[in-house]
Chains A and B, each alone.
Chain A
Amino acid sequence: MTTRMEFEEAPGTGAMMLKAAVARKPGLTDGEDLQRFEAVISGVEVTQLSEYQSICGFGESAVVPLTMPQVIAAPLHMAVFTHSDFPLPAMGMVHVSSRITQERAIMAHERLDILVWAEGQRQARKGVEIDLMTEVSVNGEKVWESVTTCLSMAAKGHGEKTAQDPVPEPDPTRSAVWKMASDLGRRYGKIAGDRNPIHLWPITAKLFGFKRHIIHGMWLLARAVAEMDDDLGEGRVVVEVAFKRPVFLPASATFSSGPHNDGVAFRLDNPVKGKTHLFGRISRG
């Protein structure tokens, strides 16, 4: 069975955020599969491009940054997660990894048709993982897609330790220290439309079990992509990222990247403790 939502304009995220905060969800019972939920919208205009480029460190240009369609599609993601029949709670969902494939650069003037869906789940150690799929088309041509993997602990996990992907250790051709101010989550949240309390203030994050507020994973990925713009080239590009540890604000983190297995590997580490916040790779074709 498919639950389908069609929008003529992007749904407001404020009300959905409130809904997510108060909704009681049953979770998934043993043997129950997540049915397909999908949301579509057509002819979306790219807005706030300059603000997004600015806050993520991209140069000003008419090219939509590779990570921005994810932000444009975010209201549809919320619509799926906060649908009254969606069995898993949106609050507490952890973004564990992403894979973005861009077939060609998207220009600011292009109108985007967006399809978002989630269907099925995989058991993980501490819950279940769901792949939230996003496809962006322009005039019927698929130009961009992403797979966002989220962990929900509202279902039983298998409890077994599984082998983790090794963190790549490229000989860095880039290595820079990023400073992230305490208000970064609030400023980015305003542009990205993601005002999840865990990103806003220490006190609102504490309500959800975090010691302080954390920066959005998608800001970290966007900042990383901005750093590596000349590694992206033109044409098809695939970006994969695994989020390992949150970045508590305010923070400093060391970004590094370098050639690795026919692509470019990147990582973000805590400069003092040496722990890795995220790692990933970019490949072409």
Chain B
Amino acid sequence: MLQNLVSLVPVSPPPDGQRVKRNAQPAADGEKRTRYTLPLALESGSPVGYRTRVSLTVAEAEEAALLYSLPRPEAFVEGPGVTEQELFEEVSLGVLSARQSTNFRGHRQVTFGPEESAEIAALMGELTGLEAPVLPGAQMTHVVLTRPYRTAFTLLLTFTGHKMGLNFLTVPWRALSKRFFHADDIPSIGYLQHLHLGVLADALERAAAVASAGQRAAQVFMAPFAGADCRKANKAVMAKLHKRCGLTAEQLGQGWRVGIVAQVGQLETALPISRAVARKVGANLMAFRSERIQPGVNAEESAPEAYQHRQDMDIPESLAFMAARAAYNSFVHWTGCDREQAKRLMLLERIDVLTEGGKGRLRQIRADNNAITDLLIANLPLWADLPLGRALSRNANRGRKAFALVGQRIYVGGLDKAHVEACELDATLAVQAIGAASSRSAQICEISGCVDLPDDCDLLVGTCLMAGPVNQNDIGKHFYGFKDLLSQAHPDKDPTSMIVWTLKAKTIADPLGNEEQLLSRKRKGALVDLRPAPHEIVDVCIDGKLSPFRRTQGRTSQERAFGDQLNFVRGPDGAHIPGNPGSAWPRALANQPVWGETA
């Protein structure tokens, strides 16, 4: 499907006096470490690390923009073998970092070489519901495995929405349904698995292009594995794929299944992106995933001076336009519907918080979500909450802050499922496309916030993509009679909101302590994402044998992807956080083709 070209829109920095950087520094001897001080060290096998954004010139931004409307490849040609390093960088941009701010490891990947790719291509040809032709000549094939979303938050949900007097029966029943039938407490929890797959699918296309500097492209398939009908029709092929991926009966019982297949191959005509720009974009994509930018003010009393001031900046209207265009591009790309239909199907509400109406709307959403949290807490079964020292109600209360909505522009995205089905679209695929659309839209803003980035600013735009407020609203909808977040903006539809993304123009990144929560085991908490190392979730199939990627003998990777761009967070004196730059994988191994010389 034809996508409209997008361009990256520079955001003007504020006057010199208003520009600020994070400038975190190590805690002095005896000083208590806070979220505003640098971590002592980083011990992580993740390719991400603590990163900063890399400035792009306007010309580089124009080159990079093509990554946000990539067409599907039409054919693959023979090319040089994929090196171990190229595979590392591709998986770093894909399954190792596509999602943000979640403590759930819901994806695994098995990557097959050229010979197995040919066999998998033959298998794929038997699938029903393919959204694009299966291409011969792939150099490698990534099979992404997925499982239902289950975290501490979903554990808490087991206790919500039960009737007094019956809850001692209905709570165990729901727990058993979740455990053995993968039932969801509320529908929006079920959507998360599909939203995440959509985010990853969109990232896989960019990952192939960026890691090869435009030499390779990915043909990504989600549709045959999306809806229940498709999965039923493709059961036999999926079973063969599961076997090739080494899924055990126990893993199948946990709900693991194939979610995406991505063929990667050499293009006859390379994409017009230079290696220099590709590496800068790759380093920036790592930076985005090392940050948790809350698009609001961080003006706690204890915060350093830099966090205390408002900045006269705004998201330009042209960037908001491009963000929407990118979202529609993505929806069109993944569902195969035409652009006008996409505009009708994809339900959006844009809240401009800087306007009077926008402020009122935001206040209304916050009040509703707080009221839902109050009801949730009031209805928690005491027989479960009291023995746990009120841990359930405390955790529920924390959701108020974790799911807070802040930003200058807030987008709520969703679907009317009946309308989607009436258009003969697979509803699950449409949910996946909403995930892809929201992430592409948010990423256009993130990378636009790197264009002509002055030295004295961390960034120019902050974004946050989250499902929390939607889940909170869904609890209200499902158990307490509240209306959907999108019902006011789309009164003629029966909307289901699915995801929220918020934007703000600002020049300061959040305190590093927020990022440390993502990467430090010592800071493990409710929102921790201990980002995976390659060997933890990626297997490579060589000579028919699966082995964890980048685990050889007694060593595992501590390399940071695109580390040659040197965009590592440093102290004000230029000192590194020990361990943060990582250590390159042995070159003798990294420079070798993974599966021999040629595809």
Give me the interface of A with B, judged by CB distance under 8 Å. 50, 53-61, 171-177, 179, 226-227, 229-230, 252, 254-256, 269, 271-272
**Contact A255 B589, CB 8 Å, known A55-B554, A60-B553, A271-B41:** no
Contact B581 A174 (CB under 8 A): yes
What are the interface flags for B217-248 relative to A under an 8 Å C-beta threshold, 1 for contact and 0 otherwise?
A: 00000000000000000000000000000000
Contact B555 A254 (CB under 8 A): no
A174 to B587, CA, bound (A): 13
A119 to B589, CA, bound (A): 42
Contact pick for B555, options A61, A174, A226, CB 8 Å: A226
Contact B581 A177 (CB under 8 A): no
Contact A61 B41 (CB under 8 A): no
Contact pick for B41, options A55, A172, A173, A254, CB 8 Å: A254
Q: Can you report 17 residue pairs joining A to B where beta carbons are below 8 Å apart?
A: A58-B555, A59-B553, A60-B552, A60-B553, A61-B588, A171-B576, A175-B580, A175-B583, A177-B578, A179-B43, A229-B587, A230-B588, A252-B43, A256-B581, A269-B578, A271-B578, A272-B40
Smallest CB–CB gap between A59 and chain B, Å?
Answer: 5
Q: Which residues of B contact A60 (CB under 8 A)?
A: 552-553
Contact pick for B581, options A50, A172, A227, CB 8 Å: A172
B584 contacts partner chain A, Cβ-Cβ < 8 Å: yes
A3 to B585, CA, bound (A): 46
Contact A230 B584 (CB under 8 A): yes
Q: Which residues of B contact A271 (CB under 8 A)?
A: 40-41, 578-579
B514 contacts partner chain A, Cβ-Cβ < 8 Å: no
B558 contacts partner chain A, Cβ-Cβ < 8 Å: yes
**Contact A255 B583, CB 8 Å, known A57-B554, A226-B555:** yes
Contact B553 A174 (CB under 8 A): no
Contact pick for A173, options B42, B554, B581, CB 8 Å: B581
Q: Considering the complex, which residues of chain B in the window 476-514 have a beta carbon less than 8 Å from any beta carbon of chain A?
A: none
A70 to B446, CA, bound (A): 52
Most chain B beta-carbon neighbours within 10 Å: one of A174, A179, A269: A174
A176 to B582, CA, bound (A): 5
A59 to B43, CA, bound (A): 21
Contact B589 A54 (CB under 8 A): no
Q: Which residues of A contact B586 (CB under 8 A)?
A: 58-59, 226, 229-230
Smallest CB–CB gap between B445 and chain A, Å?
Answer: 31
Contact B558 A176 (CB under 8 A): yes
Given contacts A58-B553, A177-B578, A271-B40, 15 further A-B contacts (CB under 8 A): A59-B586, A60-B552, A172-B576, A173-B581, A174-B581, A175-B578, A176-B558, A177-B42, A177-B558, A226-B555, A226-B586, A229-B588, A254-B579, A255-B583, A271-B578
Smallest CB–CB gap between A185 and chain B, Å?
Answer: 15
The chain A residue with its CB closest to the CB of B42 is A177
Q: Which residues of B contact A50 (CB under 8 A)?
A: 553
Give me the interface of B with A, judged by CB distance under 8 Å. 40-43, 552-555, 558, 574, 576, 578-584, 586-589
Q: Which residues of A contact B42 (CB under 8 A)?
A: 177
Contact B583 A227 (CB under 8 A): yes
Contact A175 B576 (CB under 8 A): yes
Closest 9 A/B residue pairs (Cβ): A54-B553, A177-B43, A230-B587, A176-B583, A254-B578, A271-B41, A174-B583, A177-B579, A57-B555
The chain B residue with its CB closest to the CB of A55 is B554
Contact pick for A59, options B40, B574, B578, B589, CB 8 Å: B589
A171 to B574, CA, bound (A): 9
A177 to B576, CA, bound (A): 13
A255 to B41, CA, bound (A): 11
Q: Which residues of B contact A229 (CB under 8 A)?
A: 586-588
**Contact A59 B552, CB 8 Å, known A175-B583, A255-B583:** yes
Contact B553 A176 (CB under 8 A): no
Contact B578 A256 (CB under 8 A): yes
The chain A residue with its CB closest to the CB of B39 is A271
Contact B581 A175 (CB under 8 A): yes
**Contact A59 B588, CB 8 Å, known A176-B558, A227-B583, A254-B41:** yes
The chain B residue with its CB closest to the CB of A227 is B583
The chain A residue with its CB closest to the CB of B554 is A54
Smallest CB–CB gap between A218 and chain B, Å?
Answer: 16
Q: Which residues of A contact B576 (CB under 8 A)?
A: 171-172, 175, 256
Smallest CB–CB gap between B29 and chain A, Å?
Answer: 10
Q: Which residues of B contact A59 (CB under 8 A)?
A: 552-553, 555, 586, 588-589
Contact pick for A53, options B43, B553, B587, CB 8 Å: B553
A190 to B23, CA, bound (A): 48
The chain A residue with its CB closest to the CB of B581 is A175
Q: Which residues of A contact B574 (CB under 8 A)?
A: 171
The chain A residue with its CB closest to the CB of B49 is A175
Contact B584 A174 (CB under 8 A): yes
Q: Which residues of B contact A227 (CB under 8 A)?
A: 583
Q: Which residues of B contact A252 (CB under 8 A)?
A: 41, 43
Q: Which residues of A contact B554 (CB under 8 A)?
A: 54-57
A176 to B553, CA, bound (A): 18
Smallest CB–CB gap between B42 and chain A, Å?
Answer: 7
Q: Which residues of B contact A54 (CB under 8 A)?
A: 553-554
Smallest CB–CB gap between B165 and chain A, Å?
Answer: 52
Q: Which residues of A contact B587 (CB under 8 A)?
A: 229-230
Q: Which residues of A contact B43 (CB under 8 A)?
A: 177, 179, 252
Q: Which residues of A contact B582 (CB under 8 A)?
A: 174-176
Contact pick for B579, options A53, A58, A171, A176, CB 8 Å: A176
Contact A177 B41 (CB under 8 A): yes
A56 to B553, CA, bound (A): 9
Q: Which residues of B contact A176 (CB under 8 A)?
A: 558, 579, 582-583
Q: Which residues of A contact B578 (CB under 8 A)?
A: 175, 177, 254, 256, 269, 271
A53 to B588, CA, bound (A): 14
A172 to B581, CA, bound (A): 8
Most chain B beta-carbon neighbours within 10 Å: one of A60, A61, A179, A230: A230
The chain A residue with its CB closest to the CB of B552 is A59
A143 to B325, CA, bound (A): 65
Q: Which residues of B contact A174 (CB under 8 A)?
A: 581-584
A50 to B553, CA, bound (A): 9
The chain A residue with its CB closest to the CB of B566 is A173
A59 to B574, CA, bound (A): 32
The chain A residue with its CB closest to the CB of B556 is A57
Q: Which residues of B contact A177 (CB under 8 A)?
A: 41-43, 558, 578-579
Q: Which residues of A contact B40 (CB under 8 A)?
A: 271-272
Most chain B beta-carbon neighbours within 10 Å: one of A55, A175, A271: A175
A144 to B43, CA, bound (A): 35
Smallest CB–CB gap between A265 and chain B, Å?
Answer: 14
Q: Which residues of B contact A230 (CB under 8 A)?
A: 584, 586-588
Smallest CB–CB gap between B279 and chain A, Å?
Answer: 16
A57 to B585, CA, bound (A): 11
Smallest CB–CB gap between B519 and chain A, Å?
Answer: 11
Smallest CB–CB gap between B590 and chain A, Å?
Answer: 9
A149 to B555, CA, bound (A): 29
Smallest CB–CB gap between B593 and chain A, Å?
Answer: 15
